[in-house]
Every structure is written in C-alpha cells, then in structure tokens.
Structure 1
Amino acid sequence: MELKTGSQTINLTPDHCFYLAPYSDHDFRSVNQNEFLVLDIPERILPGNTSDMYEEMNDSWTAVKYLLLQEINNTGHSDALGNLTSYIAHKIKTMTPSSIEYINKNYKQRLSLETLAAIENYHPSYYSEWFKNQTGKSVKDYINELRLNETKSMLLSTSWSITRIAGDMDFDNLSSFTRWFVTNESVSPNVYRALKK
C-alpha cells in the first residue's frame, strides 16, 4: 500500500508500521489486494505533540500487533485493547514544535515574536495564544526562564566575570543585566554566586 502525506510518500510493507499524527492530510492507494491493521488512537491519550513515525516491525511492535489481532477476535469484554492502545500511545515519539526548538537553541540572543510566529506560519497575535497553550507560559516568560537558568548555571559552574556572562546572554550593559537578574532572583548576580557556591 502506498501512503502519501504532505511531506512524504511511503510504501507500507509487512515489515514496517506507520503512525500518522492527528489532523494529517493523507491519501492511500494499493494496486494489490491486502489487509492492514489500523488502530485509531484517541487524541486525549497521545503524549502531546506527535509527528509521523515510520518504524521497523521489531520484536516489540510484532508482539503488539499479535496482541491487537488476538483482541480483535476476542468477543468478551476486556480492558486489554484499551491497555494496548495506551501502551502504543506511550511508544509514540513527541515532537517539539519548530519555533520552540528554535527558542531552545537561540534563547541567548534577542528573538522577536514576528520571527517565531513566522517559523510556525502564524500571525504574531495568534502565535502568542498558541505558544501559551503549548507551554503554559508566555513567550517572554519561557525565554526569560531559559536565560535565567543558564545565567545561574554559568554563575555557579564558571569563573567568568559578571560582565562576560552579561555579554554572553546578549545584554547591552552590565547594569541592565544586573537589574534583570535582581528582578528575577531578588539578589544581584555577585550575591547569588557567593551564596550558592
């Protein structure tokens, strides 16, 4: 069977399995007669954002397939199918949205809402709402937390001067860096370093 998604075309064979993420546009066709086992996993049990997954049918997946086929033939009421579905859902890899991945790699530099929204092809005002739904935080708070954690790590694990750390975190000057740190930690970077070391 040939399965076509927005980004790839896959020829499904008995030695592979394929997970298609929710809301994915797709087409499928086959020139031969065949049977496929399709499991519709409720979105509520999926582990966050997921992406398509094409996996080799290893021993683990073969065992899952066998158990699913057994349950299809089971006429009694059993929780096994629900348990198998939950097990499969936890094996599915989660995907970090592109803009969040970009933030995680580039949080030390100044990032604009417009740039981040463009990565996801969203309008900036919608992106803010979407981001909060994804992370539970505003874009500003999320970036601030990453920068603060990195700053605290550098204060404790390096002998770098406060000025060098401020520069590494892309602050224009030491006073704005110190103000930012005090606002978040209630002590200056020097005092934080002295207290924690």
Structure 2
Amino acid sequence: MERVNQVICEKRSYSREFKSHQHDFGQLLFPLQGSLEIQTKGQEIILNSDYCFYLPPQFDHNYRSMDRNEFLILDIPIQYLPDNTSSMYMQLDKQWTSIRYLLLEEAKSQENKASLVDLTRYVTNKLHLSNTPSIDYIHKHFKESIKLETLAKIEHYHPVYYSAWFKKRTGKSPKDYISELRLKEAKHLLISTVWSITKISEELGFENSSSFTRWFVRCEEIAPQKYRNLNNG
C-alpha cells in the first residue's frame, strides 16, 4: 500500500513474454533504449524513443519487449492525478524531452523526494493540458477533410475505440471538435478580413459558398454575411 501512495521514478527493463496487468496508480513510460509493445482495449502501439506513453489507473494492458531495452518509469499515485485521466501517446517534443532529462536526474539521486513530488505535479498538469498527436493533427488540418480512420491510426486505435477515447479526452466527438475549430476560424475571418463569403468557404474547405452558408446558419442561426455586418458595426 505504501508503494501505491509513493511517487516512484526509476529505470526498468521488460521481458520478451507478454504480461498483463493494471495499476492502482498512473504510469508514465519513457523509452531510453529499445521498444515496448503495448496492447490495450482497441489500441496497439510500439513505443520507441521518439514517444512517451501514459497509462491511467485501473487500465488493463499487455506488454512485452522483443529487444534489449531500458525505460524510465514514473509511477504517479492517484492523489496527484486529475480525475478521469485517459491514456496518452505523446511525441517527445522539446518540453517532454526536458522533463525526461529532469526525471532521469531525480532517478539518479533519489535524495530529494520533495523535488520529485514537485516535478510530478508539473508532469500531471502537463498531461492534463497537452494535446495528443491526433489532436495536434486536427489543429493543423481542420480546414481539410479529416477521416476518423486517419485520426485513429495516428493514435494506434481502432476507429470505434478512438471515438470513445477522444470523447473522454475532450468531452466532444471528433466531428464536433473539428466543427468548433472551423466555426471559430470562420467567425475570425468574417470579422477580421474583407474576404468574400466564397473565399472564406474555400479557405475552410467547403465545396461552395452555399454549403458553407448552410453550415454556418445551422451552427449560429444567422447567415455569415449578417454575422459580419452585426459584428463590424
């Protein structure tokens, strides 16, 4: 029980045989050498040194490593975690690379538990606020047609499970999330530019201005030109 309530940061290696379990705590995995196969309900990933992966509490998973391996593991007691965290597959950008370095230093020293706890609180806040690769993809490509299968593949999910995961993560369906981004951009373009409705509809990936207008009215209950006139005084 004491281990469950303790922040633990250490290096671990894994065997070639598949093992299956769940934790009473959250766990963040950083590959240092080799890779790890992880299977969850609806998701299969090969975790390598370009990514890190977060497993929430009470989350069934199978895992094994087929090569020489070493991982930096952070076990996070539930009292440090936001409510209802979901699994997260994240690319190691500069921030996550810096976090890995700091955690490695903590794993080496094991002297100042308070600093590890402070770092863990920072990590859990970043987990709560960070976008995953598929959400980053949406933000970069929301003006284009995005298939659910494309998003699911980015996260290594089956499309049905991806939709459930996405809603737990964001509170919205992928379709509604993308529509909100498009609507926000449409409003911005209507107010901040003198572009024609046709040009704006093209910019946002609509087939024509009529389909854009119908969509805008459905979302806002007002025509785009009328919205522009009202908000431009």
Return the TM-score normalized by structure 1: 0.67
> Structure 1, unaligned stretches of length 5 or more?
10-19, 30-37, 72-80
Deviation at 1:70, TM superposition (A): 5.0
Give the corresponding residue for 1:89.
121
CA–CA separation in structure 2 for the residues paired with 1:50 and 1:126: 15
CA–CA separation in structure 2 for the residues paired with 1:44 and 1:4: 30
CA distances 1:32-55 after superposition (whole Å, capped 9, x unpaired): xxxxxx863225634764756443
State which structure, 1 or 2, has the greater radius of gyration over its C-alpha atoms: 1
Q: What is the SS of the residue equivalent to 1:159?
A: coil
> Is the alpha carbon distance of 1:44 and 1:126 closer, same or farther for their aligned partners in structure 2, counting shifts above 3 Å?
farther
Q: Does 1:4 align with 2:33?
A: yes
> Matched residue pairs, number?
169
Equivalent of 1:171 in 187, 191, 206: 206
Deviation at 1:170, TM superposition (A): 1.2
Equivalent of 1:107 in 142, 163, 167: 142
What does 1:64-75 align with in structure 2 at a 5 Å threshold?
69=111
The percentage of counterpart residues that share the same residue type is 41
Q: What is the SS of the residue equivalent to 1:69?
A: coil
Q: Does 1:157 align with 2:192?
A: yes
> What amino acid maps onto 1:115 in structure 2?
T
Give the corresponding residue for 1:75.
none
> What amino acid maps onto 1:4 in structure 2?
Q
CA–CA separation in structure 1 for the residues paired with 2:156 and 2:112: 44
Give the corresponding residue for 2:162.
127
Give the corresponding residue for 1:192.
227
> What amino acid maps onto 2:184 in structure 1?
N
Deviation at 1:89, TM superposition (A): 2.3
> Is the alpha carbon distance of 1:86 and 1:193 closer, same or farther for their aligned partners in structure 2, counting shifts above 3 Å?
same
> Is the alpha carbon distance of 1:25 and 1:43 closer, same or farther for their aligned partners in structure 2, counting shifts above 3 Å?
farther
Q: What is the SS of the residue equivalent to 2:210?
A: helix
Deviation at 1:128, TM superposition (A): 0.9
Return the TM-score normalized by structure 2: 0.58
Give the corresponding residue for 1:17.
none
Larger relative contact order (CA 8 Å, sep ≥ 6) = 2
> Is the alpha carbon distance of 1:98 and 1:172 closer, same or farther for their aligned partners in structure 2, counting shifts above 3 Å?
same
Q: Which structure has the highest strand share of the two? A: 2
CA–CA separation in structure 2 for the residues paired with 1:70 and 1:126: 41
What does 1:41-60 align with in structure 2 at a 5 Å threshold?
41-42=76-77, 45-46=80-81, 49=88, 51=90, 53-55=96-98
> Is the alpha carbon distance of 1:88 and 1:175 closer, same or farther for their aligned partners in structure 2, counting shifts above 3 Å?
same
Q: Does 1:144 align with 2:173?
A: no
> Is the alpha carbon distance of 1:25 and 1:4 closer, same or farther for their aligned partners in structure 2, counting shifts above 3 Å?
farther
The alignment yields a C-alpha RMSD, in angstroms, of 3.8
> Is the alpha carbon distance of 1:25 and 1:97 closer, same or farther for their aligned partners in structure 2, counting shifts above 3 Å?
farther
> Is the alpha carbon distance of 1:175 and 1:45 closer, same or farther for their aligned partners in structure 2, counting shifts above 3 Å?
same
Equivalent of 2:218 in 174, 183, 186: 183
CA–CA separation in structure 2 for the residues paired with 1:153 and 1:164: 14
> Structure 2, unaligned stretches of length 5 or more?
1-10, 14-31, 36-47, 56-62
